[in-house]
Amino acid sequence: MVLLKEHSRKGFVFYTNLGSRKACDLSDNPHAALCFYWGVLGLQIRIEGSVEAVTSEEADAYFASRPLASRIGAWASKQSSPLETKQQLLRRVARYTASYSLKDLGRPPFWSGFRIVPTRFEFWTAKEFRLHERAVFDLQDNCSWQRYLVYP
Ligand SMILES: Cc1cc2nc3c(=O)[nH]c(=O)nc-3n(C[C@H](O)[C@H](O)[C@H](O)COP(=O)(O)O)c2cc1C
């Protein structure tokens, strides 16, 4: 689960620690799928695409807009690395809180965002008796979108 921070014609952006497991996976294989599911509404949207890094300017601007405690948390966390004791994390939080009281540390070099540039959308709508509707939009070489249905 990640927070979808931005969506535009350019793609879908989320932010994370660049040392995290998912960031390492994406650097090996820069493709991803997003899945949005609204159970109550019986809707799902799946989006597949290639993944690119956001610019440092974009990442800086978003990082600066985050609450101070979240900025400190980003500095303190070695996301996805083994943590021996909770105290270790709390000590790092205290250290970066003290550093922030002296000066704004800016964005950690290991924290940024990824943009999924879509090449395929699937809109899934629940229907009775499992006869769901699945409408696919596939990006073509000529940059148009081909729409077709697939069996549920
Ligand atoms: C509601 C929710 C929102 C989250 N948003 C983010 C996010 O925007 N970025 C992020 O790195 N992790 C986010 N997380 C934590 C991730 O789900 C995940 O635990 C973390 O990124 C480490 O994953 P990894 O070890 O597979 O890289 C969120 C978790 C929840 C429950």
CA of 43 to the centre of ligand 1 (A): 23
- 1 within domain boundaries: no
What is the number of structural domains in the chain?
1
Q: What is the pLDDT of residue 46?
A: 98
Question: How many angstroms is it from 112 CA to the middle of ligand 1?
Answer: 13
* Residue 14 Cβ contacting ligand 1 at under 6 Å: yes
Ligand 1 contact, 83 CB (< 6 A): no
Residue to probe by mutation, ligand 1, list 3, 71, 83, most atoms within 8 Å of CB: 3
Going along 39-152, which residue ranges are E strands?
A: 43-53, 111-125, 133-139, 145-150
Domain residue limits at 77: 6-150
Query: What does the pLDDT look like over 8-30, one tens digit per residue?
Result: 999 999 999 999 999 999 999 99
Question: What's the confidence (pLDDT) of residue 83?
Answer: 97
Structure confidence at residue 130 as a pLDDT band (50, 70, 90): very high
Count of CB atoms within 10 A of residue 2's CB?
A: 12
Q: What average pLDDT does range 38-64 have in this prediction?
A: 98
User: What are the tens digits of pLDDT across the range 68-77?
Assistant: 999 999 999 9
- Supply 12's token pair: 């879908």
At 127, which CATH number? 2.30.110.10
Q: What is the mean pLDDT of residues 93-118?
A: 96
Q: Clarify whether 130 is annotated catalytic.
A: yes
Q: Residue 21 pairs with which residues in a beta bridge? A: none
Considering the candidates 107, 130, 134, 147, report the single residue annotated as catalytic: 130
pLDDT of res. 52: 98
pTM of the model: 0.95
